[in-house]
Structure 1
């Protein structure tokens, strides 16, 4: 399933996003990342293998510039609240909606003066068995 890749590409299409979002964990330098969180679930499964699911993800940004982080994450949060469609590249999912479960918030500051802020989301999608729709 290519949902996380399509979501990441969609966020990177935001005009004036100051940092490119990548999949994975935060780097040792300034970075913006997207990764899955635990707690996703199948809401409904059908005999043909189609499933309605909710999946949890987190955007995290690390920088020494709190204003840059806040601007970036609020732009992403506003974009996601308005996101109405997201196309699968391999036919593995159909997008339903994204819910912002936590607005941008500060998580920590490390010894080097980097701040880490995060946004948590829940994506509602329908997934299709291998081979797509």
Structure 2
């Protein structure tokens, strides 16, 4: 299933993003990432193997510029709230909606001057059974 990749593409298509979002976790330097969170679940299963799912994700941005981090994540949040269409490249899912579960918030400031802000979202999608 290519949902995470398509969500990352949607984030990168937002005009004015200072960084490119990647799949994975925060690195030691400046990072803009998307990764799954615990609590995702299947909400409905169908006889043909199709399932409706709620998937939890976090978008994290780490930088030494607090204004850049804050501004970028608020911009991403604003655009993701408007997201109505997200198309699978391999027809593995159908997008229903994206819910912002936590607005951007500061998670960490360390002694070296790094700021980490987070944005949490929940996706509702239908996942189709893989063809073998």
Structure 2 residue aligned with 1:130: 130
TM-score, normalising length from structure 2? 0.97
| CA offset digits 1:28-63 (Å, max 9, x no partner) | 111110000010011100010010100000000001
Paired residues for 1:56-71 under 5 Å: 56-71=56-71
Paired residues for 1:91-130 under 5 Å: 91-130=91-130
Gaps of 5+ in 1: none
More deviation, 87-96/107-116 = 107-116
1:50 correspondence with 2:65 = no
The number of residue pairs the alignment matches comes to 132
Shift of 1:109: 1.1
Question: Is residue 50–residue 126 contact of structure 1 (8 Å, CA) maintained in 2?
Answer: yes
Gaps of 5+ in 2: none
Question: Is residue 91–residue 131 contact of structure 1 (8 Å, CA) maintained in 2?
Answer: no
TM-score, normalising length from structure 1? 0.97
- Separation in 1 of the partners of 2:125 and 2:72? 25
Shift of 1:131: 2.8
- Separation in 1 of the partners of 2:110 and 2:91? 41
Structure 2 residue aligned with 1:26: 26
